Amino acid sequence: QIAGGIAINDAAILRFDFEPTEPQVTFRYVFASEEYCDYVNSPFNDAFGFFLSGPGINGPYSGQAINIATLPNGTAVAINSVNHQTNPGFYVGNIPAGDPQLNDPDCAGHPIAAGQTVQDCQYDGWTTILTAVANVIPCETYSIKLAVGDGGDNAFDSAVFLEANSFAAGGTAEVIASVPVTQSGDAYEGCGDAYFVFNRSGGDPSQPLVINFTVGGTATAGVDYNSTITTGSITIPPFQNSVQIPVFIINDLITEGAESIILTLKDPCNCTNAVGMMFILDKHP
């Protein structure tokens, strides 16, 4: 549909579902093409788009999707909308002096490229780094389809480069019980100590992540275990993926069966309350 009826060849599609924890999803990309600059203003533009569908979205594409591969003014990114003549501030040329295609009338005024990129990259032009942005509803499921293909031919390729780790739809956190001796969440009295480990996943790693949680279960602090862990919060520092809190198991020499320590996260970055469970078991005879 986005190609305007032109046959699409050599299509590449990446599709996945995600559940945002923030009201906005963003990622950064560059669109590059061999159609620059001699196919500028031609009807034979390679097809390209990032199609987002899900709750609250009502667009013109399949599944009521919208195309979020747009310039800040809402114009869809394409050969004809971003080039040396139209929106040149978003365009980077990669054609060296003396290249015959610069004689094409559509290439009039095209900048001359020099330097390492001319040798390293075959594409004759590309956009500056652009950001795809869309408003979403936290904790709902969305689908995104990234598609690019040759329009009307299979010789002049285009590509989309996605910036690593730039897809941002909010972060999540988890807590797990770690007992090195048993390599599980089971801790035996008199057989070493244990930890609760808080992990971050996604979000902005340059920012601290504050995780609120409650402590419950059948085990009693000061009787069955000693730890600084109490209902409250913990902070994962910037550029750190996890923090851990030790739990010192008390060997009370009383046969009392399995007792539990349950941590329930109250983190707004989670769509569900993550739970970490540790069981304190009587020492083996």
Would you place residue 248 in the very low, low, confident or very high pLDDT band (cuts 50, 70, 90)?
very high
Task: Please give the domain boundaries of the chain with CATH numbers for all domains.
Answer: 8-162 (no CATH), 171-281 (2.60.40.2030)
- DSSP bridge pairs for 225: 221, 249
pLDDT (mean) for 13-22: 88
pLDDT digits (tens, 9 = 90+) for 86-134: 999 999 999 988 889 899 888 999 988 877 667 788 899 999 999 999 9
Higher pLDDT, 136 or 46: 136
Six token digits for residue 97: 């002096």
Residue 227 vs residues 195, 209, 220, 222, 265: alpha-carbon distances, Å? 9, 22, 11, 8, 18
Average pLDDT over residues 241-262: 91
The span from the CA of 227 to the CA of 55, in Å, is 44
Cα 64 to Cα 52, 54, 86, 100, 244: the distances in Å are: 9, 8, 29, 43, 44
Q: pLDDT value at position 285? A: 58
What is the average pLDDT across 271-279?
Answer: 82
Neighbours of 65 (CB within 10 A): 22
Polymer length of the chain:
285
Tokens representing residue 224 in the block: 């069955």
Calpha distance 274→51 (Å, rounded):
31
Is-cis flag, bond preceding 269, omega within 30? no
Residues 244, 197 contacting (CB under 8 angstroms): yes
Reported for 217-224, long-range contacts at CB under 8 A and 24+ positions apart, including other chains, are: 217/259, 217/260, 217/261, 217/262, 217/277, 217/278, 218/259, 218/260, 219/259, 219/260, 219/261, 219/280, 220/259, 223/250, 223/252, 224/249, 224/250, 224/252, 224/259, 224/280
- What is the rounded distance in angstroms from the CA atom of residue 84 to the CA atom of residue 40? 9
pTM of the model as a whole: 0.69
Structure confidence at residue 6 (pLDDT): 62
pLDDT per position as a tens digit, 190-243: 888 899 999 987 777 888 888 889 999 999 999 999 988 889 889 999 999 999
